[in-house]
Structure formats: C-alpha cells, structure tokens
Structure 1
Amino acid sequence: MTEPEDPAELPEGPADKPGSRWRRAAAAVGRAARAPFNGAGLLYRIGQENLHFTLPVLNGAFGDQLAARHDRRAIQMSFRRYEADVSVAELRLQPPPEGQVRKTVVFLHGLMGDEIIWQTGAGPEDVRFGPRLQRELGVNCLYVRYNSGLHISENGRRLHQLLTELVQTFPAAVGELVLVGHSMGGLVIRSAGYYAAQEQLFSEAPVASGPADNTPEPALRWLPSLRDVFLLGVPNDGSFLEQNSHLTALILRKINIWPTRAISGLLDKRSNGIKDLRFARLTDEDWQNAHADDLFPPRTVVPPLPGVRYHVLVGSLLKTVDSALHEYFGDGLVGAGSARGRIFRDPAAPPDLLITTRVYPRLHHGTLLSNPEVYAYIRENIG
C-alpha cells in the first residue's frame, strides 16, 4: 500500500486549472502550519548537541543563583570523562611500571568554559593539549568542570578537596602533579593552593599533648606532589572588562533615576564569579569584606607556593609587546600586565620561587588553547 502523496510534492498542473491552484494553496498553508514546530524541533536539536557549551555559559552568568536555588542545571565540581561527571574512585588510575615516575596533569577551564576546550576545537581533527600530552608523553590527563558563576574562593576550596581526595585514593598512581589553568581556572588553582597551604600550616602548628597522645596521622596532602602550575591568560591582577562593568554600574546607580537604576540593577545580576574577576579575589575574606564593592577594595595577598614552578603564559593581540595598549588590552580579554601579575614580578621574592613568563604576540585569549608554540612549551616543561 502506498502512502498518500504530500500536496507539496505533487506536480503542478496547468496554471488555468482550479484544482492545481487549490493544491498549491493547501501545500503552502501546510508548510506555514508546520514551520513553528519544525523550527522548535531544530532549536531543540541544536540545544542538545551544544549542551556542553550552553550549560557552562548559563552557569558562568548566573551559576551562583542556580546553586542557591538548588537548580538541577547548577554544575557541581567534578572530574569529567566522556562528557559526564565521574567520581574520584571511578577514575581507576593505575600506578606506573616499577622504576618509572608517573605525572598527572589536571586541566581547569575558564569562565563559561568546560573540559571540551582542552580536548578538541572546531573539528574532529583539531586535537588539543590534553589528548596530545597523554598520547605523546604518557601522562595521566584529568579534566575538571566547575560552576564558574560561584565565588572563585568557593571553587578554590572545592578544588582543594577534590585534589586531596585524588591523592588519598590513588597515592601511588598520581605521582608528580601538574595543574594547568586557563583564565579564571588559573585563579581557582591559586585559590586552591592558598587553602591547601593554610590547612597544612594549621595542622603543623605545635599543640600541647599529654603522655598518651593518640593524635591520628595526618592525611595525605596534594601540595607535596605539586611540581608545576601553568597559567594561560590568567587575570592575576583582575579583568579590565569587569572593572569597567563595576564602574559603569556604580555611576548609573549614583545618577539615581529610573532608567539608570534599571540598567545598574541588570548589571548587578551578573554572577559572583564574574564580580570576583574585577580584582582577582581569591579568598572568602575578600568578598565578605564590608568594603568589597569599593573602587579600591582590600585584597588578600596570595603568593606563589614555594618549591613549585610557575609558568605564566601571556597572549597579546599586538605584534609588539612593549606598548601601553599591550599592557592594558593584552589578549583582548585579559591585559598583559594583569596576566604577568605583580605577585609574580616581586623583585624581593624569596629565592625558592620558580617563575617563568612567556609572552606570545598575535594571540587572542582563545587561541592560547590551541597555539602550537604554547603547546610545545607546555610539553617541553612537563616532559
């Protein structure tokens, strides 16, 4: 039995036949009626295919509000495999053969990003840093996804807990630990290091003990395993974009008429993670401070960790890197001066700080993640 023919597919008869005109009219009406449904279906398919992109963007913009409402769309910090969250135990890391030293590289994305940026780009042939390092050096490559709308310090604490669980679960398999962060991800790494160091300092403080001291042995920590930190396009001194947004909202609020109040109210809806980028707030105290919204708020100094090699990689839109434009605009999203970071340029820093800075001309913020020269530098210094 043959299916009835769609009027839209019937051959047109002579123009002077009334029946053919009716069939064409009916086909046009049918197409018009189906259009909204076809369009909705297309949008749904596109949304599902790009969910790995749209969900992190939503979290970056409003993730703190989603988390406060316990919305199912709020991302929970986790290691990722096959575009899904996995527990630490599910990673099933294996120790290296006897006599070999294993290295574990952990990647953290930036604002509104996810782990895919470290794995693939525009097409299936655009294989990026993670898979290439794993294939060429045999290192463990792990990827963390997090809610970039939360305070940086909240994510820093959670990363500290996640890395602690990792070394406690697989002490022999982790080996030397390397952390790689892009943009906000580098700030989360620095925040995690701060809280790990604070916890270690507190636990090592002398305490009074009696003759029958039953204090348990300290749990394994991840800081002693940390060897290298790579910071790619990280706004270590803050983001000029967020500084301008904050100033704009402040001025509009001061004008205090209905339109300016409405616009400033909308600007104030941006997430806590975005607001923290203004001056790279890395600790709870910075955003909990009563003067946190001042033009020049107090900021906790978070120094580099001693004995850890820091690699500060800076992009620049310009061919020359000795101009004021380069310092301010840098890679287009992060100024070069901020990416280099005052804390990494302290002439009075202790001698055990190991800091290398590289500037890459004609690279914008995103191409730091796919540039061959950047990859070659990372590969050389991990290997």
Structure 2
Amino acid sequence: MAASSTPSPLHRALGTLKRAALLPVRGAAQLYQSGRAHQHFFLPVLNGALGDQLAARHDARAIALSFRRGGHDVAVADLGLSEPHQKTVVFVHGLMGDELIWQTSFQDGPGGPLRYGPRLAAEAGVRVLYVRYNTGLHISENGRALHRLLTDLLLTYPDALGELVLVGHSMGGLVVRSAGYYASAAEKIRTQASAKKPKKTASSPATGPLESAPSWLAHLGSVFLLGVPHDGSYLEQNSLLVERLLKRINLFPTRFMSEAIARRSNGIKDLGQALLVDEDWQQPDDPALPRPRTVVPLLPGVRYHVLVGAWLRASLPRTVRDYFGDGLVGTASGQGELFGDETTLPPGTSVRTAHFGQQHHVGLLHHPEVYHYLRQWA
C-alpha cells in the first residue's frame, strides 16, 4: 500500500513551531527594509519638530533650503539648465516632508511608483525642480529664502527659464505665498529706487546683479496649492489652547506638559494662523489675544489653483466634514477666504478651486485625479 501523503500530526506541529520561530526574524527583516526605504524622512521630521532650535545652534542636522537632486543638495550653478525658455515646475513640500514625496510612494519607498514630478517631466515635457527646506523655521524665513533661491535661478539661467509654475503642499503652499510677498516687496523697492536714481552717465558706477535683475514674478504663470491651511490649521490652534490651559492650571504636571508642547517648532506655531510675514511673529505674544496677521494679497496676473481634500464620508453632517476637511486642514481654511472673494482679485489674476472627495491630506500627494488636474492645467 502506498504511503499517505498527508503529514502526520507531529510534522504539522513541527512546521507550526518553525513558522512561529521565524516570525520575529521575518518581521525584523521587513522592519529593517522599511526603515532603509524611509530613512530619508528622519532629518525632515526632526527639522519639522525642532528645526528652529537646530538652526539656532548651527547644528549640522539643520536643513538649509536648497534645490535637490539625487538625494543631495545641489547649488543653482550646478543645475546645468540648458533648454531655452522651458516651462519650469518647482515643487515645495509641506511640514516634515522632503522632495521624495513628489517622486515616489510612501508605502514602497524610493523605488516605488512614480508620482507627480517625474510623471510631469516625462509626459508634459516640462523641467521639474524640487526644493527641500527646514520646516521648523518660521514660514516667512523660508519664504524669503525661497524668494532668494528663485532670484538666483533667474540670474544664473536668464535664457533657460520660461514660464514658472509653483506647486506647494500644505505648509509648502504658505511658503510659496510668502516668497511671492517678499518678491513683490523687493520689486517695489527696486522700482522706487530706480525712480529716485539720477540719470546714469558714463562715470556712474555699475549696479549689482541683484539690483538690476528682473523679478522671477515676471515668469510666474500658475500656482498650485494642495491642502494648504490658508487661514490656519485647527490642529495647531487646538495645541495652543491646550498649552495655555495647562499653563493656567499651574500644577507641576500641567506645567511640564505645557512646556513640552511649547517647545514645538516656530514653523508649527506659525501654522495656527498661517503667518506669512516676519512682523506677524515678531509681535509680543499676548495669551489673551491672537497674533495680528498680515493679509498677503494674491499676485497680479497669476493663475491660482486651490486643491481641497475631503476626508470623511459624504453621509456625515456637513459641519463635521467641513471642520475636519482633509483630516489636517479644515475645508474653509483649505479654500481660503481670500481666494473666494472675486472683488479683491488683482488685475489678470484668476482662482480655480477643485475638491477631491474621500481624500485625506497626504492622499493629495498621490491621487490620480490630482495628477490629471496638474497635467491639464500646469
């Protein structure tokens, strides 16, 4: 009689023990592989939480705003842009992010499916550049730094830069708007100085490149704002309320927790009211009052695209869905009060708002419909 192919109870028990014994090893291997795939997030997360303190100590881990290529900072002079008058799309990440969020999948790591940046470069034939910055610094500090970087880009490659398109996610959209504010201020100062300057003669000294350079705003065509808290983040607003409440209770445990919350970075604190200008956070802090907030106007002649996610099911009450918005940014803040008032739009400025249902804050970075929207309008 042929031997039965069914394993004996002993063999089954040994096989189960073997699989159980190997589970920690396999789990550790998967954890290690996942850690390696996502290790690039360590510095951005650290900078988002404590980046202002790292920068104040001149810590080597503090990120400096820069263009990025191949996982490394790249100087503007080393970008090697040669194609003349090519449309250029610059991607600006959000809090605790980096340039890879525009390139590959969170789940699959750097080798995962391509995202908006590489796909636009391949399918639309545009030039794509990525910026990384210290998200723990004040939004206005990063806005001024982005303004200087784009100015340097135009000075270095005046013939290579065609139409400029800026794409910002979350805090990145606020940095983009802050950069536009400082570019407008610099342009105004340059215009006033030019009007007061006496007529140039042969003996007049030559002006410097920054003084005479045209503004990058002249190239700016479109701005895409994905999940941006234009009127502030409810999460940060709640954190501030908790911090102040615990401080008022004034017991040792509550003081300790209040001080721990208070150590969050300046960038995170700025998100509460979407502070885009230095003077706003330089004002003395009055716990009884919100900080005064400068309303930064939209730029003339720019096409704005405001992309808003909706995280909760449509069956839930509208007030609940609007409060939570995409999970991190409320619907009203994501739409932005300024963008909804057509009477205040500067000449030539347009605003188009698009809503994406059942889509959370991070999902806006890899949503097929969002990509098709970018592909159509960028």
TM-score band (shorter)? Answer: 0.7 to 0.9
> Is 1:274 the counterpart of 2:262 in the alignment?
no
Q: Would the aligned equivalents of 2:94 and 2:171 in 1 still touch at CA under 8 Å?
A: yes
SS of the aligned residue for 2:90 comes to strand
Q: Would the aligned equivalents of 1:291 and 1:298 in 2 still touch at CA under 8 Å?
A: no
Between the aligned partners of 1:156 and 1:346, the Cα distance in structure 2 is 24
1:343 corresponding residue in structure 2:
338
Between the aligned partners of 1:199 and 1:127, the Cα distance in structure 2 is 37
1:291: how far off? 3.8
> Is 1:365 the counterpart of 2:361 in the alignment?
yes
Q: 2:240 aligns with which of 200, 225, 246?
A: 246
1:207: how far off? 1.1
Q: Would the aligned equivalents of 1:329 and 1:335 in 2 still touch at CA under 8 Å?
A: yes
1:138-168 deviation digits (Å, cap 9, x = unpaired): 1110000000000000000000000000011
1:327: how far off? 2.1
> Is 1:153 the counterpart of 2:146 in the alignment?
no
1:50: how far off? 3.2
1:288: how far off? 0.1
> Is 1:236 the counterpart of 2:230 in the alignment?
yes
Distance change >3 Å, CA 66–CA 48, structure 1 → 2: farther
Total equivalences in the alignment: 340
1:78 corresponding residue in structure 2:
66
2:150 corresponding residue in structure 1:
163
Write the mapping of 1:1-383 to structure 2, written as runs, cut at 5 A. Answer: 49-96=37-84, 101-121=85-105, 122-123=107-108, 124-205=111-192, 206-207=195-196, 209=198, 212=201, 214=205, 216=207, 218-291=212-285, 294-320=288-314, 323-350=318-345, 351-382=347-378
1:51: how far off? 2.8
Give unpaired runs (5+ residues) of structure 2: 1-23
Give unpaired runs (5+ residues) of structure 1: 1-34
Q: Would the aligned equivalents of 1:238 and 1:279 in 2 still touch at CA under 8 Å?
A: yes
Q: Would the aligned equivalents of 1:286 and 1:292 in 2 still touch at CA under 8 Å?
A: no
Rg larger for: 1
Q: Would the aligned equivalents of 1:227 and 1:309 in 2 still touch at CA under 8 Å?
A: yes
1:25 corresponding residue in structure 2:
none
Q: Would the aligned equivalents of 1:286 and 1:298 in 2 still touch at CA under 8 Å?
A: yes
Between the aligned partners of 2:269 and 2:363, the Cα distance in structure 1 is 24
SS of the aligned residue for 1:359 comes to strand
1:322: how far off? 8.3
Between the aligned partners of 1:271 and 1:291, the Cα distance in structure 2 is 16
Distance change >3 Å, CA 46–CA 375, structure 1 → 2: closer
Between the aligned partners of 2:242 and 2:340, the Cα distance in structure 1 is 30
1:373: how far off? 0.6
Between the aligned partners of 2:48 and 2:245, the Cα distance in structure 1 is 24
| Residue identity opposite 2:187 in structure 1 | Q
Q: Would the aligned equivalents of 1:47 and 1:54 in 2 still touch at CA under 8 Å?
A: no
| Residue identity opposite 1:343 in structure 2 | L
2:17 corresponding residue in structure 1:
none
1:136: how far off? 0.3
1:145-198 deviation digits (Å, cap 9, x = unpaired): 000000000000000000000011111112110000000000000000000000
Between the aligned partners of 1:317 and 1:43, the Cα distance in structure 2 is 29
Identity of aligned residues (%): 56
Between the aligned partners of 2:286 and 2:373, the Cα distance in structure 1 is 37
TM-score (normalizing by structure 1): 0.84
Of stretches 48-57 and 318-327 in structure 1, the one that deviates more from structure 2 is 318-327
| Residue identity opposite 1:199 in structure 2 | A
1:346: how far off? 1.7
2:7 corresponding residue in structure 1:
none
Q: Would the aligned equivalents of 2:244 and 2:287 in 1 still touch at CA under 8 Å?
A: no
1:91: how far off? 0.7
1:47: how far off? 5.6
Q: Would the aligned equivalents of 2:281 and 2:291 in 1 still touch at CA under 8 Å?
A: no
1:46: how far off? 6.8
Between the aligned partners of 2:355 and 2:30, the Cα distance in structure 1 is 43
SS of the aligned residue for 1:311 comes to strand
1:94: how far off? 1.1
TM-score (normalizing by structure 2): 0.85
Of stretches 225-234 and 325-334 in structure 1, the one that deviates more from structure 2 is 325-334
